[in-house]
Amino acid sequence: MISYDDDCAAALTAAADAARRWLSSVDTRTVPARSGVEELVQLLGGPLPVDGLDAVDVVHELAGLEPGLMASQSGRFFGWVMGGTLPAALAADWLVSAWDQNAGMRDATPGVVAAEEVAARWLLDLLSLPSGADVGFVTGATMANFTCLAAARGAVLHGVGHDVHGEGLTGSPRVHVLVGQERHDTVDLALRYLGLGHPTEVPSDDQGRIRLDALEQALGQVPAGAPVIVCLQAGNVHSGAFDPVAEAVELARRREAWVHVDGAFGLWAAASPRLSSRLGELGGADSWATDAHKTLNAPYDCGVAVVRDPAALRAAMGVHASYLLEVASGPGNPYERAPELSRRARGVPVWAALRTLGRSGVAHLVDTLADRAAAIAEGLRELPGVTVLNEVVYTQVCFALADDAATRVAAAALHEEGRILVSGSRWRDREVLRISVSNARTSPDDVEVVIDAVRRAIPRMAR
């Protein structure tokens, strides 16, 4: 028999102990995972045992997975674009699980919906987005791109007299989707989910920003009166560069195009007066996708879809069923703003992150990430044989050694040593190493560690 009160208390204590042990180890342990999946599958057992195990022992077995965890909470973790977690956001996420609220219906779970509505309002204010926009809390920027582009598809087709939500895509006019050459691949994925096929690529400049002359030309090639969506990017994963959003919006408006901005990690620049004045206005578009689990340092899974016209979003995402508690007007139901009906209250950790930081704290967080990236770039430029390939305008540093072979050797050496974690990629026809400063914990000491680790990883021949 499970005794809920006692077993929950004991299991949560065991989990808290294991979590504390893990978190206090990330400052000293190697950053990449040291055990592989096969080994850990062995550890967790063969066929499903006939008999159960009590909750505390289950937690202990799971804690055995630690050698297979990547220390993404460490200040020396710079892989892909993955943030750490703020203590308040982590604790809030635990409460979300303990409360176990289904956040789909406003009037059924008012507690968590209130937190999400406040978080949404704060986000719009903080990021200088229209105060009347609708906000959906989704799993990540992939689904945020999908959610926004679903609203876009419905709106631009409605504009030419086709009801895609009623009639589907069969018999629909073609939607012309223009994207920068270096958009994130999840934009293509979202378009695929939506049956919109391959977008038209618009050439980018040497930092990966969409070229305005090329965008103007591409818009000119769309047949008059055809529905158009333009996808822009705030924050290129290699360079951190921002598309010239305000100027692109102006061009797109002449064609009555819907403008979407993928700002998975870049949208947060808008919270920093210093960075936003340098990187440009983002607020003129029709929809924006971002992640809270990257720059804001909320735990996974947490993305945010923002759509200027609430009716467009709710037409795309709303459902109607006799058993649902409908909210006729005003704020509507959370399930009208996200693909899921039932879901966890993932906006609550966003509220907690914003509350613990405050307006000044978010600006400071974003500025500090950018400062650390600039300091890393400065240190790397001093190293023999290392070239920093991007203008370091935000949180990303992309560098390479003399040739692809040397870069690969250095990548392997860095992984082997494990003091830092950086990820490899190909950019502009070169093997590169990418440093993404996305964790609030990255300190000036960590910056020194990066420079020292890279110095020692440079192959002798390449110095």
Q: Does 81 bind ligand PLP (CB under 6 A)?
A: yes
Single-letter residue type at 452: D
Taking each helix axis from N to C end, the angle separating 110-126 and 347-381, rounded to the nearest 10 degrees, works out to: 40
Looking at beta carbons only, is 291 or 309 nearer to ligand PLP?
Answer: 291
Q: Does 109 bind ligand PLP (CB under 6 A)?
A: no
Contact segment (CB under 6 A) with ligand PLP among 136-144, 213-221, 331-339, 396-404 equals 136-144
- Write the DSSP symbol of residue 255: T
Q: Does 140 bind ligand PLP (CB under 6 A)?
A: yes
**Residue in the structure block whose two tokens are 């020692």:** 456
Indicate the pairing of strand 423-427 with strand 430-436: antiparallel
Which string of DSSP letters, residue by residue, matches 369-414?
HHHHHHHHHHHHHTSTT-EE-S---SSEEEEE-SSHHHHHHHHHHH
Considering only residues 30, 73, 85, 142, which one is a binding residue for ligand PLP as defined by CB under 6 A? 142
Distance CA 451, CA 463 (A): 14
Q: Does 186 bind ligand PLP (CB under 6 A)?
A: yes
Q: Does 237 bind ligand PLP (CB under 6 A)?
A: yes
Shortest Å, Cβ 138 to ligand PLP: 9
Q: Does 141 bind ligand PLP (CB under 6 A)?
A: yes
Taking alpha carbons only, the member of 120, 121, 128 closest to residue 283 is 128
Shortest Å, Cβ 451 to ligand PLP: 25
Which string of DSSP letters, residue by residue, matches 343-370?
---THHHHHHHHHHHHHHHHHHHHHHHH
Considering only residues 76, 106, 162, 184, which one is a binding residue for ligand PLP as defined by CB under 6 A? 184
Q: Does 239 bind ligand PLP (CB under 6 A)?
A: no
Looking at beta carbons only, is 180 or 284 nearer to ligand PLP?
Answer: 180
Structure tokens at 326: 């409908």
Shortest Å, Cβ 278 to ligand PLP: 19
Contact segment (CB under 6 A) with ligand PLP among 125-133, 138-146, 321-329, 378-386 equals 138-146
End-to-end CA distance of the chain: 66
Q: Does 283 bind ligand PLP (CB under 6 A)?
A: no
Shortest Å, Cβ 389 to ligand PLP: 18
Looking at beta carbons only, is 265 or 288 nearer to ligand PLP?
Answer: 265
Contact segment (CB under 6 A) with ligand PLP among 173-181, 191-199, 240-248, 260-268 equals 260-268
Looking at beta carbons only, is 140 or 284 nearer to ligand PLP?
Answer: 140
Structure tokens at 65: 């997975």
Q: Does 304 bind ligand PLP (CB under 6 A)?
A: no
Shortest Å, Cβ 438 to ligand PLP: 10
Shortest Å, Cβ 82 to ligand PLP: 8
Shortest Cβ contact with ligand PLP: which residue? 140
Q: Is the peptide bond before 27 cis (omega within 30 degrees of 0)?
A: no
Looking at beta carbons only, is 153 or 293 nearer to ligand PLP?
Answer: 293
Q: Does 238 bind ligand PLP (CB under 6 A)?
A: no
Looking at beta carbons only, is 113 or 138 nearer to ligand PLP?
Answer: 138
Q: Does 269 bind ligand PLP (CB under 6 A)?
A: no
Taking alpha carbons only, the member of 295, 273, 298 closest to residue 119 is 298
Shortest Å, Cβ 208 to ligand PLP: 11
Contact segment (CB under 6 A) with ligand PLP among 25-33, 137-145, 193-201, 342-350 equals 137-145
- Write the DSSP symbol of residue 458: S
What is the signed CA dihedral for 427, 433, 438, 442, rounded to 10 degrees? -160
**In 3-state terms, the chain is what percent helix, strand and coil (to 5)?**
45, 15, 40
Q: Does 235 bind ligand PLP (CB under 6 A)?
A: yes
Considering only residues 146, 265, 268, 427, which one is a binding residue for ligand PLP as defined by CB under 6 A? 265
Taking each helix axis from N to C end, the angle separating 4-25 and 55-63, rounded to the nearest 10 degrees, works out to: 10
Task: Please tell me the count of residues contacting ligand PLP according to CB under 6 A.
Answer: 13
CA distances for 357 relative to 121, 151, 364, 427, angstroms: 16, 31, 9, 35
Q: Does 303 bind ligand PLP (CB under 6 A)?
A: yes
Taking alpha carbons only, the member of 404, 405, 424 closest to residue 414 is 424
Q: Does 154 bind ligand PLP (CB under 6 A)?
A: no
Q: Does 288 bind ligand PLP (CB under 6 A)?
A: no
Q: Does 262 bind ligand PLP (CB under 6 A)?
A: yes
Helix extents (H) in 399-461 = 404-417, 444-457
Q: How many CA atoms lie within 13 A of 62 on its CB side?
A: 15
Looking at beta carbons only, is 14 or 93 nearer to ligand PLP?
Answer: 93
Looking at beta carbons only, is 176 or 238 nearer to ligand PLP?
Answer: 238
Distance CA 425, CA 238 (A): 9
- The footprint of ligand PLP (CB under 6 A) covers 81, 140-142, 184, 186, 235, 237, 262, 264-265, 291, 303
